[in-house]
Structures are given as structure tokens and as C-alpha cells.
Structure 1
Amino acid sequence: MTKMERYFEEDRLVLILKQVQNKNCITLTEIAEKLDVSTRTVRNDIKILNDALSDTAFIEGEQGNYKLYIVDLEGFEKKKEEIFKYNSYLDSPKKRMAYIFKKLLKSNGPYITDELAYEMNVGRSTINGDIKKLNEILGSYGLFIEGKSNSGISLSGLELNKRFFIMENLFNLIYFDENTDERIEKIVEDISKKYRFESMTQVAFKKAVVIMTDRVSDGNIIEKLPNKYYDIEKNNMFKVADETAEDIEKVFKIEVPIEERIFISIPIAGMRTPTNIEAVYQVGITEDIEKTIDKIIEQIEYELNLYLDKQNLNEEFFYHISFMVNRLKFGYLLKNPISLEIKEKYPLAYKMACIAGRIIEKEYDVEVPEDELGYITAYFGAYMLEYKTTEKYYRIALVCSTGRGTARLISTQLKRVLDKDAVLDLFADNQVTADILNKYDIIFTTLKLKYNIKTPIITVRDIFDEKEILLEIEKAKQLQKLSIPVAKTGGVSIIAALIDEYKFFLLDDEKSYMENTIDMIDSLCDDGFVDEGFGERIIKREEKSTMVFDKSIAFPHALNFSDDKIVVAIGVSEKGIKNDDGSCIKLIFLLALPENENQDDTVLVRIYDEIISIAQDENIVNEISMTKDVKTLVKNFIKLGIGSNL
């Protein structure tokens, strides 16, 4: 979304309050970037908010992180409602621009700007400034304000585009002082109940019906649509538009032609997938959507070596893709207020969503915006989490040299972070043997154990950081699958645990990305980590689709026939090596993946998550790129907390 388009979003105070309420903590910089203002402005707005919230709540920052503290929940909700209401009616550029747009929309001829200025009680320069800003925004919809101040201005562009602009930006501002006709309310409500529309779909549908009825009543009909829109008639849900149009015709004594019926059906054809999926079973999944999803699964497997079981993909995903394609084909935008948060929290799922987006763009000749990628990310994120929960139940041993009371304290803390089905057994140090401990999946201990055992061991203190222990548990589970001792490296990074002196490389700045990659492969091949054909497979993959990710990072990967475990190597360049596409690569993560269709992908998922999280932070990339040896690399991974935010 561009800076100009934010003129029609909620006011800053409302947005800031929503940000601090939705996130546990947030920095001034994050808020400022979201609102396109300075951190100084955000500080001033927070002061205003704190005054408005009075004694019910307050926003306070500590070490750069700001949090909302609620003192009186009931009082806070009332104050919040007052702030939202006040700001929605506050005089502002967006309110003036909405007024200008409405006047030009309703006018049968050119409108003199002096008349607008008089009606709005503002100066001519203010009006001209608002018109200039409005024109910048209208341009992306194929609309524009033309004419001169003294002879009059008018709104030009297609009727359909005018309606989309209203629906996506100005509906509440244009119709806020006009109560929706009760007859329209009744028609939409009855139809929504009949077809079990959820509230969001009902609201969007009502907007379309209100706009259509208003514009047709004024004689502004859609005379002709691009051919693709007539495909909506084939949709099973088009009968909803037909029924609604017939009711509108009877009540308002107007004729609703086919183009207008298509217009009001767009929010239905492109609705959000309802929670009650049975409500849309009658729509069905078309063959082309099935084929598109097959291609998405194939491409994700090809690019990431991750296999998605189509049978396990939630059926909501199929309907989501179907409705999303309709939205994109018919120009109906769906905003996603948490797309950035989802992208940051589920980096691998976002990468998968980007692959899906490319397939959809190619198949349907549409552009998939970030808002839609955010929704796809949510589905893949849910799939990955559900996939993780299917792991086996773990048997945990806790070995303590301390007294019974302290042992119970540690046990209680551990139970809070372990899976609910995990079995935790408590032992004194003189009760255990190597044979006993090897029967467990993970061992927690307060002392150094003298036994030589294969089970992952995690040392704990009497009182520990639960988040840190949770990450250690996750790391132990993943390393156990790779037969790597959990104590091999500190921190919680899987990559750091897999790297040793044979898999760390200083890149040659004078060579290209592929030349450096081949040098790394040759060395790994000489040491027996990859087979002789591995390099050729990397070259073929790179020729088909580049494995350079996010300009400064590349992660070439291919199947490896010389090992049944994942092999990870890293190459670093402080200066950066030039690539043919103009990117400057500082880190190469080389992955050799075992040929095993039944392989547990959770380790690979964790590795991808770490790589993508590194790529998202330029400072971390630069810090790692300056590393000169493997020991320093591991220290940097620990210091930078790689893997600790996943």
C-alpha cells in the first residue's frame, strides 16, 4: 500500500492503539514505518493517547519496546470506543477528499472549486491541495479529476472503477451520514441467512448492493464490462445476485441489468472462505483450481524439497484459492491487516506462499498482492504447525542432585513447557544407569552425568528461562533425528550444530556466485559429504530457477546420494560476490538433501526457517559475513540468537 492510499485508512491514534493492543510489545520504529511518520510524531501521539485513556490504561516504553498496560478493562473499552468514534468523524484531509469525491460523483456537470471551498468552509489552496492528493490515489484505479478551477472540474473514468474505489476506500465516509435504507438491510439480511453468509461477506455484499442501488437510481449504470466478468454467470453463487436483483427491482421500481447483477455478485464470488465450510460446498472446486494446487505442491517440492500431502491440506485452502482467484480476476481487493506480522512470524510459510503466488500469477494472468500472500501464508503456517504436532510423544527423564523440594520445582516448571502428552519421570542421581537413561528421548539434569549415552542431554538450573528451555527441547528433538549430540554446540540453532570446519568456507570475492558454489561442492565431495553428481544437479537447478534469495543470500540445494542425513555448508564474504542478476551475495547456505521420500521434513523446515530469518535482517547478514572461522561463526549464531525467535 502506498503512502497516499493511507489517507483513507483510520487515523494515527486509532492505528497506534490497535498496534500496541495486538502485539505484546512493539518498537517506535515499527509503528513509525507502518504509518510513514517519524518516531517523534509517534511519541507525541502516544502522549495524546495516554491523556485520552486517562486512568484506564497507559502505553509505556522500556528499552525501546512499547507496551499497553490495562488497569481497568471495562473503562478501557469505553475510552477506546470514544477514541475510535471521535477519530472517525474528525475533520481531516481524508474527510475533505471523501466530500470532494462524493460531490463530483453525484454531479451531472463540472463543479466550480470555489463552490466546493465555500461549502466546506476552507480556502481555495486547501481544496486544490486535496484535489492533487486525491488525483494521485485515483490514478491507480484508472480515475482522474479533470478540468480547471474557474470553469469547473469533473470526475472521469469507468463506472465500475468508481464503485471499486468507493468499496475499498470511501464507503463509510461517503455513506456515514445516510442510514442504509431499511429495505436494503432486510433484503441483504434475508439473503445472507438463506445462504449462511458470515458477517464479513454480508458487509461486503451489502456495500455492493447499496452502491448499485444508489447509482442505478441516479441513472449511472454499468453499460458494458470486460469479457472476463461475464464468467461470473457460470458461478453457482450467481443465483444469489439474481435473487437479490429481483427483490431490488420490486422494492425500488428500477431495472437491474445483467452487468449490475454481476457487480453485486463480485463480493460473493471473491468472499473470504467462511469458518463454516459447509456453507460453500454448493460452489464446488473447479478442475482448474485442482490443477493449480497440484502445480503449487510440485513447485514447493522442487524449490524447497518439502513434500506437502494434498490430502492433509485443509479443504478450506482449496476454497480460499478458488475465491482468491476470483478476487484477483475481477479486481476485488481484500485487505489483510496482519499480513506483515504473519510474514515475520512464519518466514518459511511466507516463502511457500510466494511460490504459490507465482504459480497463480502465471496460470491466471493476475498479480497477487502482499495482502493475499499473507492469507496464503496463514494457511501454510497452520499446515506446518499441524504437521509438527503429529510428532511422537516424548519420554523425559529429570535427574537431580538437589533436594526433593527443588526437584519438584524444576519438574513443575518443565511440565509447563512440555507437550501435554509427554511423560516426565523424576530420578535422583544415584538411581540412574546408562541403560535406564537410554530408554528416554530427552534427559534434563542439574549435574554432569558420567555415563556415555546417546540420548540428548539438557542441563538445567533450579530456576530457568522457560522460553530458552522450550527452544532447547525443540533443538534436541531435531538433532536427535540427525544423530548429533545436543551438547555439540550452544544456542538453539540447528545450522550451527551442523557446521564444522569441513563445511565452513571463506568465499573468493574475485569469483562468481556459481564458481564459489562449485568450489564448495568440490571440497565437500573430496571429503565424502556429497556424491560426484551433486554439483551437476545444483547447476541444472540454478539454470532452471535461481536459488539466490533476497539479494544477499543464496541457498543452493539438491539431492545427495552419499548420505542419509542433511548436509549443510556455509560460505561467507564480507565484501560480497557479484551475481549475474546484479545481486551482491554475502552468504551461501549449501544444502545437500538425502534421497528419502519418507524423510521427516521437520528438520529441513527448521533449517529453512533459520535461513529466512537471517535473510530478513541485514545487520545479522553483515555480522555473519564478517566471520573468519567456524568457531567464531558458532559464537555469532549464539550471540545473535539465531533460531531463538522461531
Structure 2
Amino acid sequence: MRELQLGFISNKTTVRLLKILNYIEHKNRFTIGELAENVVVSERTIASDIKYLKDHFEDSAEFVSGSKGVIFREIHLSEYKERKKQLFSNECLFEIIQQIFYGKLDRIEELAHRYNYSETSFRRLLVQSTPVLKSYGLLWQTNPLTIGGREGNLRKFFKDFFYEGVETPFTIIPDNKLHDFFIQKFMNEMGRYSVGSGTTPEAFYYTLYIAINRVSLDKTVSIPKELQKKVFNEHDFLVFSSITEVVEELYKVKLPKEELAWIYLVTICKRTIDREDLEKTFFDHFNLWPEIPGITKRFLQKRGIPSACLLYTSRCV
């Protein structure tokens, strides 16, 4: 989710350096020419940026030039990650988003002064990142500065920004007490749920931590009544509801039933890719749209899927 974070970076050089790192971390071997083409700058600029990155990462990474290009390798991963985080150290919007998550809000003029911007320049910086927020159905709101929109959309944004993105000095890291006490006790039971889930413990951990903090700020979600009714009648949900005791013990926060339903749905809607039995159960329990079988058949037919597969799909849906 690095593209999401790039939209909130004010320094164009930092954006370029991160695009370079995104590319070479995946390719490992590259030429100056192909990197310049990918980042859309001159080869001279790329050569200068590579020199800067060599100096910045020092012994934590190496750039070895050869006849077939440059080989990039991370040597000391923890040191490399720390030095990479330093590239974000002066990015004020990252810190502001962190403060918004915790409910610490300030007025535009106060923030502009704190980060050495004129108020006009600071507002221009906010406009730059507006398209990213719009893609989540969100927008900047003033004064004080916050992010407005549906709570569920905002939580999705927070999770993508902090969990899916590159770690920065301002990344929200859920505390260890939740991990140590809760995850080990509860996540072992997830595999026994009839509807199952493809979510990882770490992703579930983030979803829960975000919900706990938002509820503590009196920011709650809502889900459609029809969907609520389905969730409340699920046997798995009754078992899942036991997490309220752990949360209340650790954080002194009582999660409302609708909040639990939202966490449950976010968790189970991340589906498996290798468990046909679980996918059939999920469809049987949560299909609210009778159009799905027809849409599925048309989708497969359009892509030339063999008729035997269409028959198999019909039996599944």
C-alpha cells in the first residue's frame, strides 16, 4: 500500500527516493536506464539518487555495480528499516494522521506554525492529498483539522495507512499486551469456526486495536440492520463475542455488540483461497444478493472458462 502513503509526502525528492526503493527492493537487479524509465526522471537524476541512498543506508544495504547492472541487497534488515523510516521524519501529514487517530486535533493555523508553513502553503499540502482521501470516501475537515467521512471508511484508511504501508516514525503499533494476552488465547480458535477466515492474526490484531481506540473516542460504526440480524444469529459470532471480556480487562473499554459485528465481518470477509468447504459455508450464510450466481456465470463465460467449470460453479453457488 505504498502508493497510498506517497500521496501524503510533501517533499518531491522523498517521493522519488521511495519510488526507487519500491522498485529495487522487488527487482534486486536493475540498470540506471530502466530505473529512470520507471520513475520518469533522467538517468543523471537516478545516478545522483543512488549515490544518496548508498550514503544514507551505509552498511545496512549494498549497491554493487556490474556488467549487467546494479545489484541491490539489504544486509542488516533491522538497521535498513530504521534508516528507511528516517526518510519520513520531516513529513508532517504522517504525524498529523497519527494524532487524528488518537483524537488529538489542532487548528490549521496552529499546525502551519508548528511545521513552519504559511497557512496558504499548508492548505495547499492538504489539497495535494485530497484525492487519496476521496478514494476512501473521506475528506479533510477544519477547524480543528480532522478527517471526515463514515467511520468504517476511516478505519479502512487507518489500517491501510499504518498496517499495509511502509513503517514510518509515526506508524501506529498496537501494544504488546494485546498481542501477548489476547492473540495467543483467541486466534487459535479461529481455525475451528465453521465460516472460517483468510485473515492473518496480525491483520485481525490491527482491526481490533483500531476499533478499541476509536470506541474509546466515542467513534462507533454502524452496519445495515439486515446484516446485523444475520451476524447476531451466527453461532460463530456468539463464540467470537467472548473477546469483549479480554478487551474490557485490558483497556477498560466495552465494545458494543454492533462493534463486535463489524469486527467479525471485517475478519470473515477476508476469504480463503484453498478451502472450498469454508467458502461454500460463507456463501450460504452471508449471500444477501440473489444476483451473484448469474454474475458469476457471466464473468466466467466472458473469460472463456470451460463448461465443466461452469457446471461446478453452479453447484457451488
Normalising by structure 2, we get a TM-score of 0.69
Give secondary structure in 2 for the equivalent of 1:219: coil
Is 1:132–2:127 an aligned residue pair? yes
Deviations 1:516-558 (A, max 9, x none): xxxxxxxxxxxxxxxxxxxxxxxxxxxxxxxxxxxxxxxxxxx
Report how far residue 113 of structure 1 moved. Answer: 2.6
Which residue matches 1:19?
23
1:83 pairs with one of 61, 76, 80: 80
8 Å Cα contact 2:95/2:170 also seen in 1:
no
Contact 2:155 2:210 (8 Å CA) reproduced: yes
> Structure 1 226/43 Cα, relative in aligned 2: closer, same or farther at 3 Å?
farther
CA positional deviation for 1:143: 2.2
1:128-207 correspondence to structure 2 within 5 Å: 128-147=123-142, 152-171=144-163, 176=171, 180-183=175-178, 185-196=180-191, 201-207=200-206
* Aligned partners of 2:138 and 2:150 also within 8 Å: yes
Aligned equivalents of 2:232, 2:19: Cα separation in 1: 39
Match of 2:71 among 68, 73, 83: 68
User: Residues of 1 paired with 2:281 and 2:250: CA distance?
Assistant: 32
Instruction: Please state how far the C-alpha of 1:86 moved relative to its aligned partner.
Output: 1.6
- What TM-score do the two structures reach when normalised by structure 1? 0.38
Shift of 1:267: 3.6
Alpha-carbon distance, 1:204 to partner: 1.2
- Structure 2 contact 85–169 (Cα < 8 Å) conserved: no
CA contact (8 A) 2:182 2:246 kept: yes
Question: Cα offset for 1:137?
Answer: 2.3
Q: Structure 1's 274 and 88: CA in aligned 2 closer, same or farther, altered over 3 A?
A: farther
Alpha-carbon distance between aligned partners in 1 of 2:273 and 2:234, rounded to the nearest angstrom:
17
| SS of residue matched to 1:286 | helix
Identity of aligned residues (%): 20
Instruction: Give the Cα separation in 2 of the matches to 1:43 and 1:114.
Output: 39
Unaligned runs of 5+ in 2: none
Q: Aligned runs of 1:233-272 on 2, under 5 Å?
A: 233=232, 237-239=236-238, 241-271=240-270
Amino acid at match of 1:133: Q
* 1:127 alignment partner AA: F
Write the letter of the residue equivalent to 1:225: I
Higher helix proportion (structure 1 or 2): 2
Distance 1:84 1:2 in 2: 15
Q: Higher relative contact order at CA 8 Å, sep ≥6: structure 1 or structure 2?
A: 2
Distance 1:81 1:220, change over 3 A: same
C-alpha distance 177-270 of structure 1, shift in aligned 2 (>3 A): closer
TM-align CA RMSD: 4.5
Residues 124 and 200 (structure 1), Cα distance of their counterparts in 2 relative to 1, 3 Å cut: farther
Residue 234 (structure 1) shift: 5.9
Other structure's SS at 2:242 match: helix
Supply the AA of the counterpart residue of 2:117: G
The alpha carbon displacement at 1:200 in A equals 5.9
Aligned pair partner of 2:63 in 47, 58, 61:
58
Secondary structure of the corresponding residue to residue 100 of structure 1: helix
Aligned residue number for residue 491 of structure 1:
none
Question: Partner of 2:212 in structure 1?
Answer: 213
- By how many angstroms is 1:241 displaced? 4.0
- Higher strand content, 1 or 2: 1
**CA-to-aligned-CA distance 1:145-192 (integer Å, 9 cap, x gap):** 2336xxx44443222222111111135659647661504542123211
With over 3 angstroms needed to count, the CA separation of the structure-2 counterparts of 1:136 and 1:292, relative to structure 1, is closer
Deviation readout 1:574-614 (Å, 9 max, x if unpaired):
xxxxxxxxxxxxxxxxxxxxxxxxxxxxxxxxxxxxxxxxx
Gap regions ≥5 residues in structure 1: 71-75, 323-646
> Are 1:96 and 1:130, in contact at CA under 8 Å, matched by a contact in 2?
no
Secondary structure of 2:63's counterpart equals strand
Residue 130 of structure 2 aligns with an amino acid whose one-letter code is: N
Secondary structure of the residue that 2:254 maps to in structure 1? coil
22, 38, 50: which one aligns with 2:41: 38
Q: Which of 94, 106, 113 does residue 108 from structure 2 map onto?
A: 113
State the structure with more CA Rg. Answer: 1
Closer/same/farther in 2, CA of residues 97 and 261 from structure 1, 3 Å limit: same
Q: Which whole-Å CA distance do the structure 2 matches of 1:88 and 1:312 have between them?
A: 51
Query: 1:216, 1:254 within 8 Å by CA — same for their partners in 2?
Result: yes
SS in 2 for 1:249: helix
Mark the CA change 1:67 to 1:21 in structure 2 (over 3 Å): closer, same or farther: farther
CA distance in 1, matches of 2:234, 2:64: 49
Partner of 1:554: none
CA shift in 2, pair 1:264/1:87, >3 Å: same
2:281 aligns with 284
Equivalent residues, number:
297
